[in-house]
Chain A
Amino acid sequence: MDEKTFLVQQILVRTFAAGTPLLLGTLGEIYSERSGILNLGIEGMMAAGAVAAFATASVTGSPWCGVVAGIVVGGLLALLHAFATVTLKANQIVSGLALTMLGLGISGLWGKRYVGVPLINKILPVRLPVLSNIPILGNAVFNQDLLFYGSVVLGVIMWFILYKTKVGIIIRSVGENPEAADSLGISVWKVRYVCVITGGIFAGMAGSYLSLVYISSWVEGMTGGRGWIVIALTVFSLWNPKRAFLGAYVFGGIYVLQYILQSYGVSPNLLLMLPYIATLAALLAAVKFSKKKRISPPLSLGVPFDRGR
């Protein structure tokens, strides 16, 4: 293999790895927002999930126990958001920000003991036979770890449920018109609880991926704004899991490119603006083509459902 092919292959490997936490987070946020609940707490749930995963993996020696812990912590934090916004009908923006503060705070405090501690057992890549022999792409896509494969499979399942099943119709209808859904006998609060917690579970998983696979250690602030990128990506993908794949890997690619282009004298800071500018540009473009496709968020996003009113 010559040097150039190797470089391209390495870029692809890192791109998919960098895109995975973004994909996981976005899939979860799509469900939350599709049910009508905006959750700005992704950054906090991701950070808390990351530290929970790392701490558990360090104590038990099993990275998979770590993943479970990350998921549980993410889900529990999301439960808090669901209680505040669904049951108490609190402002979703403020509650989400509170969740981010709480999650970042918990991760900083809990993680202090694990700064600089190496991970004993890592989640190693699993080479898929035959498929991994495809030139370049094979090694990038089919020689990754199980969490990566899991995220791809989950993405497809999440898309299928949302668009091809009755459950998906129920979720979408609760996000669009909760009054109508309620009059059809759908329990709006139950659907919203489940979707918000799903969002937390995915954010926790994304955090686990960061601390157990992508970076394989704990550093405070390791989420580095990825939770906010997820919020942007959710809009970027127009609330569709299928487009979340595209968005996550493109943004993942930008993360990787900044390291490479840096050596050619391009300012990494200007490159790091790209994901955010791209999001705004995508939204502007979407407005322009709005006659063709839906681009507006779920109609009741951010609005609490109060039966008595």
Chain B
Amino acid sequence: MWRIKIENRAVRSYKLSFLTGIVSVFLGVIFTGIIFALWGVNPLFAFYKIFSGSFGSVYGWQETITKAIPLILISSGLSMAFVAGLWNIGAEGQMLLGAIPATYIALKLGCCLPAGIVIPLMFIAGFVGGALAAGIAAVLKEKFRINEVISTLMFNYIIAELVQYLVYGPWKGKGQWGFPYTDNFPSSATLSVLGNTRIHYQTLIIAVLAAVIVYILMKKTRFGYDAKVVGANPSAARYAGINFFRNSVLIMLISGGLAGIAGVGEVAGIHKHLTYPWTISAGYGFTAIIVAALAKNNPLVCLLISVFFSGILVGGDTIQTSLQMPSSTINIFNGIILFFAIAGDYFLTHSVRIVKNG
């Protein structure tokens, strides 16, 4: 008789981590392919369209890098929060709360001050806005025992409604033909782009720097070590005298602030005005969670995986136009990959073997 033998693994191996990542993407492709086939689309053709749309041309690469910018920013911040056991799922709202004050500055000061002053101010305001949204959640968690999953989730909706209120109401632009947009940002409040692309490189530079800084913070400093202990073993952390309040609030401020910067990049680099919340945040806050999960919360790995998922988002736009599939189709792919990625974790902590009895 054969049976399955399951044992706990003592150490995690990097090789295995990498392998489960690859396998989960591969299985994601297969299962999504089955769903495509059930829908009546040749899966090989659909995947060809997805990946050639994003990685198969210069234009595709430009779009992929553009969409990777917010993903890199948010996923680096999230990976830090997740390591500390802070389940920030409010990056969508934090992006928006970054975009709101940046818009205010753009519309108020953009007319009369040079870009060299306005743009840095917008980024700072965006960081503060996003940090505020996440920081409040941390305070609610540590002082009032309100779960951060609930609070960050609630903030997503509250802030999205606030944005709608602003663009339909007091901030509605006069020159926008009645659309719920604010007036377009003056040129000194918009980010410059590389050539004919949409790559707003200033945000891209900040994003890459952020990933590196968060990596150093997590791996090389006492602060990062404390965060890891808090996440892995809260009671040990308490025993060691780690200040939970300070630690959680700081991490959430950074994580939310980076999402806020991503929000500034979207309004000042892509849209040039504030508009519908779901146009601005566009699901980046949730996609970044997959990125951080697949990157095993390593910000440098987040850089690479952000580009991959950004490619999938761009590919999703491609099949929307060429195969008439709804843009949400890509969610199936993302959801399945995420399932396999966390299922794969089981094999990192347990060894599963088929053995012969007796």
Contacts and interface: CB of A to CB of B under 8 A. Distances in A.
Interface string B149-188: 1110111111001101100110000000000000000000
Interface stretch (B98-106, B124-132, B300-308, B321-329): B321-329
Interface stretch (B63-71, B200-208, B216-224, B330-338): B330-338
Interface string B3-38: 000001000000000000000000000000001000
A213 interface: no
A93 B338 CA distance: 11
Q: Which of A40, A89, A283 has the most B CB atoms < 10 Å from its CB?
A: A283
Interface stretch (A103-111, A159-167, A181-189, A196-204): A103-111
Interface string A82-96: 001000111101110
A104 B343 contact: no
A225 B69 CA distance: 26
Given A109-B39, A112-B325, A267-B169, A90 B345 contact: yes
Contacts of A95: 338-339, 342
B330 to A, nearest CB: 7
B154 A276 contact: yes
Contacts of A99: 335, 339
B213 interface: no
B342 A84 contact: yes
22 contacts: A40-B89, A80-B339, A88-B342, A88-B345, A88-B346, A97-B89, A98-B334, A98-B339, A102-B332, A105-B329, A105-B332, A106-B332, A108-B327, A109-B39, A112-B325, A225-B157, A235-B150, A267-B168, A273-B162, A276-B154, A277-B158, A283-B144
A276 B158 contact: yes
B225 interface: no
B342 A90 contact: yes
B325 A232 contact: no
Nearest to B151: A280
B8 A283 contact: no
Nearest to B336: A102
A89 B150 CA distance: 22
Contacts of B289: 94, 97
Contacts of A263: none
Interface in A87-139: 88-91, 93-95, 97-110, 112
Interface of A: 38, 40, 44, 80, 84, 88-91, 93-95, 97-110, 112, 220, 225, 228, 231-232, 235, 267, 269-270, 272-273, 275-277, 279-280, 283-284, 287, 296-297, 308-309
B150 A109 contact: no
Contacts of B236: none
A112 B157 CA distance: 26
B39 to A, nearest CB: 6
Contact of A94 (B146, B330, B342): B342
Q: Which of A80, A267, A284 has the most B CB atoms < 10 Å from its CB?
A: A267
B244 interface: no
A38 to B, nearest CB: 8
Q: Which of under 10, 10 to 19, 20 to 34, or 35 or more describes the interface residues of B?
A: 35 or more
B55 to A, nearest CB: 21
B331 A104 contact: yes
Contacts of B150: 231-232, 235, 279-280, 283
B328 A228 contact: no
Given A235-B150, A297-B147, A101 B331 contact: yes
A22 to B, nearest CB: 14
Given A269-B164, A287-B145, A108 B328 contact: yes
A98 B335 contact: yes
A270 B165 contact: yes
A90 B343 contact: yes
Given A98-B342, A104-B328, A109-B326, A279 B154 contact: yes
A220 B339 CA distance: 23
Given A90-B343, A105-B328, A270 B146 contact: no
Q: Which 6 A-B pairs have the closest CB atoms?
A: A108-B328, A102-B335, A105-B331, A105-B332, A101-B335, A98-B338
B1 to A, nearest CB: 22
B335 A105 contact: yes
B47 interface: no
Given A98-B334, A269-B161, A297-B147, 10 more contacts: A90-B346, A95-B339, A101-B332, A102-B335, A106-B35, A272-B157, A273-B157, A273-B158, A279-B154, A280-B150
B329 A109 contact: yes
B262 interface: no
A280 B154 CA distance: 8
Contacts of B328: 104-105, 107-109, 220
A228 B342 CA distance: 22
A283 B153 CA distance: 14
B293 interface: yes
A273 B328 CA distance: 25
Contacts of B326: 108-109, 112, 220
A108 B331 contact: yes
Contacts of A97: 89, 286, 289-290, 338
A107 to B, nearest CB: 8
Contacts of B144: 283-284, 287
A259 to B, nearest CB: 15
Contacts of A93: 87, 89, 149
Contacts of B330: 105
Contacts of B343: 84, 88, 90
B23 to A, nearest CB: 14
Nearest to B340: A98
Nearest to B8: A308
Contact of B329 (A98, A108, A297): A108
Contacts of B154: 232, 276-277, 279-280
Nearest to B154: A276
Given A88-B343, A109-B326, A102 B331 contact: yes
Contacts of A107: 328
A55 to B, nearest CB: 13
